[in-house]
Amino acid sequence: MRRFIVPTCVVAIAITAFAPSFARDGDYRLVREIKVGGEGGWDYLLADADARRLYVSHATQVEVLNIDNGSVVGTIGNTQGVHGIALAPDLGRGFTSNGRAATVTLFERSWMRRMVAW
């Protein structure tokens, strides 16, 4: 236990000491604000740089946005109490964790790409 506490404390002190240098004014700037409709509280988001998609989970669905123009390109519905989204690029699939329903939703990433062409 002691071997774990000492390194953890060292890392915590180092992060605290250097944190102000990471958050200097000018390091970050607002590029765009995307308004996403719908009801219920928002939870997590996940950016898929390869597919140029942003997945935003809230309440009972996941909104899928085009990163380049901010438009909604799809919705993954029936995800009661959705929290996180995970992608498995090698499998071409994605997953959501649905807390209220105690389920996981599996979706095809290729389907999300094709939706834009429809």
Quick: pLDDT tens for 4-56.
454 454 455 545 555 555 556 668 888 888 888 777 778 889 999 988 999 99
Question: Is 86 contained in some domain?
Answer: yes
**pLDDT tens-digit map of 55-113:** 999 889 999 999 999 999 999 999 999 989 999 988 989 999 999 999 999 998 776 54
The DSSP secondary structure of 61-103, one letter per residue, reads EEEEEETTT--EEEEE---TTEEEEEEETTTTEEEEEETTTTE
CATH number of the domain encompassing residue 87: 2.40.10
Predicted local distance difference test score (pLDDT) of residue 4: 47
Question: Is 79 contained in some domain?
Answer: yes
Question: Is 97 contained in some domain?
Answer: yes
Question: Is 3 contained in some domain?
Answer: no
Question: Is 26 contained in some domain?
Answer: no
Question: Is 8 contained in some domain?
Answer: no
pTM recorded for the entire structure: 0.70
**pLDDT tens-digit map of 59-72:** 899 999 999 999 99
Q: H/E element holding 36?
A: none
Contact 92, 110 (CB under 8 A): yes
What domain count does the chain have?
A: 1
